[in-house]
Structure 1
Amino acid sequence: MENLESLLHGFTIAVTVPHLTLMVIGVLLGILVGVLPGLGAPNGVSLLLPLTFGMQPVSAIILLSSMYWGALFGGSVTSILFNIPGEPSSVATTFDGYPMARDGRPTTALATAFGSAAFGALVGVILITFLASWVAQVALAFGPPEYFAVYFLAFASFVGMGGAAPIKTVVALAIGFAIAAIGIDTVSGSVRLTMGIDELVKGVSFVVAVMGLFGIGELLIAVEEEFSARAVSSRVDWKEVFRALGRLPHHGIALLRSAAIGCWMGITPGGPTAASFMSYGIAKRFSRNGARFGTGEAEGIVAPETADHAAGTSALLPMLSLGIPGSATAAVMMGGLMIWGLNPGPMLFVDQKDFVWGLIASMYVGNIVAVALVLLTVPVFAALMRIPFAVIAPLIVIICVVGAYSVSNSYLDVVLMLGFGVVGYLFKKLHYPLAPLVLAIVIGDKAEDAFRQAMLMSKGSLGIFFANRLVTTLVLAGIALLLLPLALQIVRLLRKPDVSAQEKVRII
């Protein structure tokens, strides 16, 4: 009941003319970011972040979150109309979305995707509404050992459930930890890993890092692959929109199952991309029309879109309640909170109620605004895909350079941003995950501080991480996730048929 009262108070903050205007602007910018190849939600939010430094935190987070919703929807537009996923999490949507659009049903495909996405986002927001305060209250009892255990669980979740090869995830995390360690050691006050460059004393800005990793890195990939858009009709038939939305309840089981998968993968560091692929695979396996997946089946659109948006929304729950982002974009937003002078975690619900509940209320309104605007602007943004990529690419570079320089008016940040662009390119080419790298850059120093404080409290004894039921459970869960890939590999080896034995049987 208290949460509902707080939510109603949040609506009085979110539903004002200035904030509704920011939602519209944010959603339009987000759709643009999602539609254009080479950009994405993490990079779009990081590019917009410097513009929010002079804004009130509530207004700033509403603008950034609205851009996030718009980017998720924009990625679906290009996936369906052009077979080009504007977002990594929209890749699974292309499997059935583009075939349906190519068969002369683009409106049906778009309406199905947006309706499913809105449902998934709504489930994610409801989850945040009713669980955020509870999670925050539990977290108030946390000390350094508990916080380190939570960080350890987050890192271990990427290894055990991230979808990439475990060793590659560990390498990405290690690189992120090394980058996070650059600058002043907050415990001892000593300077480390600056390599004699005085400007590195302040550390590496996460904004610079994500603009390079996601902006320049994706751009280099796009240039190499030489994007060529094959557009289909982008005209919206409103009668077909309502007919497609009316057919969504027939996919009720897929909607609920995909929303559950998305929320779980959002709260854990699986992320929207893993959630969309997992949901699509499970839907294909259990659907009565599984054999038709890949040919324009509606359920093949419903499953990934619902999971994608449920994961993208619920990823903000651990970021707000525990200070642990559930996705790369949530990590960028968390960095924004720190820049605005807010400390993500349980005390945020005590000290900044207006901020938290204003944000949660804006999620409800922002998703409605996003659905309406994306349907209205599909023809406009589809036309942008006909602009030559040779024109779009330099604009992306200019935006990234200006954004990096504006962080602290330093040319070193521009150089670092370009360097991170090369790293992002190499990560993509070698199939290394970027999300663990971003996570380690954002909270690596926090995890280190919590560990060292716990060691000071226990005088160097690791037994402090097994001192009570809560911290023991978290640590054991983290260890289990670390060992999960190894256990699955052993199971696969045990189930593998004995080829030599089978050959002997054939010979006999």
Structure 2
Amino acid sequence: MENLASLIAGFELALSWHNVAFMIIGVLLGIVVGVLPGLGGPNGVAILLPLTFGMDPTSAIILLSSIYWGALFGGAITSILFNIPGEAWSVATTFDGYPMAVQGRAGEALTAAFTASFIGALAGVVLITFVAPLVAQFALRFGPAEFFAVFLLTFCSFIGMGRENKAKIIVTLALGFLLAAVGMDTISGDLRMTFGVTELMRGFDFLVVVIGLFGVSEILLTVEEGLHFKGKRAGIDLKVVLRTWTALPRYWGTLLRSSLVGMWMGVTPGGAIAASFMGYGLARRFSRNGAKFGKGEMEGVLAPETAAHAAGTSALLPMLALGIPGSATAAVLLGGLMIWGLQPGPLLFVEQKDFVWGLIASMYLGNIAGLIIVLATVPLFAAVMRVPFALVAPIILIICAIGAYTISNSIFDIWLMLIFGIVGYVFKKLDYPLAPLVLALVLGDRAEDAARQALIGSEGDLGVFFSNGLVGTLMVLAFVLLLWSPMIEGLSWLRRRLLASRPSEAHN
């Protein structure tokens, strides 16, 4: 009851006219940030952070967090309309969102993505509101071994529960791990596989690779089709929105499962990227229409968006309760809090009670405002599909190049983008999945660091990965998911053998 009373007081603070104005401005800016490839939520928040130093801390954090909400929503727009993930966690959304747009269902896909984003973020905010003390204590138990177990769980689930050829999944995963290892070793400081190229010291930036693999390769594939650029119509009105909402209850299991996965990955923290891939993989495994995933299945849009946004929101919990940022954006917000003279941690809920509950209330309001704003602008973004691709393709290529350049202000990144565009084109022609490569590139170095730190602390004893119930459970679950398909096939074979033996036994 005390939390509810504090939340009501927080709503009174967040609903002041100037805070509502900052909320709307932040959401609009965030959508733009999410749409532009290469910018992203963390960069957008970081760029605008200096503008808030003279503001009231509550208004400043509401503005910055609203930019985050807008970026979460906006990342799905280019993923669905152009197969270019505007945000790292929107990669999995392209798998079914873009095919839906090609089929003339862009409005339906966008509505599903935005609504799933709202549901996932709402689940994360509810978690922050009611489970903060318990989750904060649980997160304190995570060390390097536990982090490695979470990453291993993500990789194993993608291999074991993926429907693609297992050998091709492992090949692309291995390539992703190889790319993730390029650059400076964060533990020893040694340079690895740079071959004297100065620009490779910082490694391969994720967004440069993704823009090339998904955006440029898609343009190359379209060109190969004979330059038959045709505008794709996307009828969208209130009926489309209501029809999509009417269909959502049948996917309640997917929405619930993805929300739980996202909240778990956000608090641990596994991250929104891992959550989106895991949510998509689980949905494909347990869905009745799993075979149709990748061909324009609405469930394939709902699952990753819900998981990613639940994780992105839940990542703010350890930042507020413990002072441990659970994501890149949370790290930027953490710096802002400290600049404003606030010290994140358990005492923040006591010493700055009004601030904390005002922020939590703004999360509810910002999420609602974000959903309303993006749904209101769905016709605008869906109308882009009506423009002939012959006109849109050069603009997309220019935006991709600008996005790749602005990451590090390097021409070298534009060349890398083009190279990975060719790689993505070849992989698509050979039917190699790109998602495992992206997943390994993003999480490979983090998994390596966690494993090495755990082994350094245990002096090389592998028992550290089974040293307590938490890490042991995660490791066992990872191996179960890795062997999931062989186990299912083995059980099916055993059942067939038993059924085949029964008639002969009866005859005897």
TM-score normalized by the length of structure 1: 0.69
Aligned residue in 2 for 1:364: 364
AA partner of residue 309 (structure 2): T
Q: In the TM superposition, what is the alpha-carbon distance from 1:194 to its structure 2 partner?
A: 0.5
CA distance in 1, matches of 2:439, 2:81: 28
Structure 2 residue runs of 5 or longer lacking an equivalent are 51-60, 84-91, 266-274, 320-325, 337-342, 502-508
Partner of 2:230: 228
* 8 Å contact from structure 1 (residues 69, 366) kept in 2: no
Which residue in 2 is equivalent to 1:488? 488
1:155 aligns with 2:151: no
Which deviations, in whole Å up to 9, do the C-alpha atoms of 1:416-455 show, x marking residues without a partner? Answer: 2222222333343444443433333233222222222222
Q: Cα–Cα, structure 1 residues 86 and 153, in superposed 2: closer, same or farther, change >3 Å? A: closer
- The verdict on how the C-alpha distance between 1:115 and 1:477 changes in structure 2, with shifts beyond 3 A counting, is closer
Distance in 1, matches of 2:229 and 2:356, equals 40
In structure 2, the CA distance between the partners of 1:3 and 1:280, relative to structure 1 (3 Å rule), is: farther
1:404 is paired with a residue of what secondary structure? helix
In the alignment, is residue 310 of structure 1 matched against residue 306 of structure 2? yes
Structure 2: how far apart are the matches of 1:381 and 1:487?
45
Amino acid at match of 2:142: F
**Identical pairs, percent:** 39
Q: Which of these residues, 245, 252, 261, is aligned with residue 256 of structure 1? A: 252
Matched, 1:281 2:277: no
Question: Does 1:88 find its partner at 2:95?
Answer: yes
* Contact 1:50/1:407, CA 8 A, preserved across alignment: no
Map of 1:34-433 to 2, 5 A cutoff?
44=37, 46=39, 50-56=43-49, 59=63, 62-72=66-76, 87-90=94-97, 98=105, 118=118, 122-123=122-123, 125-127=125-127, 130=130, 134-224=134-224, 228-229=230-231, 231=233, 233-236=235-238, 248=246, 254-264=250-260, 266=262, 267=265, 268=275, 270-271=277-278, 273-274=280-281, 281=288, 307=303, 309-316=305-312, 334-335=327-328, 364-433=364-433
Give the distance between the partners of 2:395 and 2:462, measured in 1 at CA.
52
Structure 1 residues 127 and 222, CA gap change in structure 2 (3 angstroms)? farther
Equivalent position amino acid for 2:30 in 1: G
Query: Are the equivalent residues in 1 in contact too, given 2:234–2:385 (CA < 8 A)?
Result: no
User: What secondary structure sits across from 2:377 in the alignment?
Assistant: helix
Match for residue 292 of structure 1?
A: none
CA contact 1:73–1:374 (8 Å) conserved in 2: no
Counterpart AA for 1:17: A
SS of residue in 2 equivalent to 1:446: helix
| TM superposition shift of 1:396 | 1.4
Contact 1:160 1:484 survives alignment (8 Å)? yes
Whichever residue aligns with residue 155 of structure 2, its letter is: F
How far apart are the structure 1 equivalents of 2:277 and 2:256? 13
State the shift of 1:171 in Å: 2.5
Give the partner amino acid of 1:316.
Answer: G
Verify: 1:17 aligned to 2:21, yes or no. yes
**Shift in Å, 1:206:** 2.3
Question: What are the Cα deviations for residues 5-62 of structure 1, in whole angstroms up to 9, with x where unaligned?
Answer: 78678765795423321203434675xx5xxxxxxxxx74646765544222955554
Contact 2:65 2:363 in 1 (8 A): no
Q: From the superposition, tell whether residues 276 and 93 of structure 1 become closer, same or farther in structure 2 (CA, over 3 Å).
A: farther
SS of 1:56's equivalent in the other structure is: helix
1:385 partner SS: helix
Instruction: Tell me if the contact between 1:89 and 1:273 (Cα under 8 Å) persists in the aligned partners.
Output: no
SS at match of 2:187: coil
Deviates more, 1:216-225 or 1:348-357: 348-357
Q: Residues 157 and 127 of structure 1: is their aligned pair in 2 closer, same or farther, counting only changes over 3 Å?
A: farther
Distance change >3 Å, CA 275–CA 457, structure 1 → 2: closer
Give the letter for the 1:56 counterpart.
L
Q: Deviations over 1:270-315 (max 9, x none)?
A: 4454466567636999xxxxxxxxxxxxxx96x6665454334224
Q: 1:490 to 1:434 in 2, by over 3 A?
A: same
CA contact (8 A) 1:47 1:211 kept: no
- What is the CA–CA distance in structure 1 between the aligned matches of 2:399 and 2:348, rounded to whole Å? 32
Question: Partner residue of 1:454?
Answer: 454
| Shift of residue 472, structure 1, vs aligned partner | 1.6
Change in Cα spacing, 1:131 to 1:433, as seen in structure 2 (3 Å) is farther
Q: Which runs of 5+ in 1 are unaligned?
A: 34-42, 80-84, 286-299, 324-332, 502-508
Task: Say if 1:69 and 1:367, in contact at 8 Å, map to a contact too.
Answer: no
Q: 1:121 and 1:198, CA in 2 relative to 1: closer, same or farther beyond 3 A? A: closer
Q: 1:21 is matched by which residue type in structure 2?
A: I
Structure 1 residues 200 and 76, CA, compared in 2 at 3 Å: closer, same or farther? closer
What's the TM-score, normalizing by structure 2? 0.69
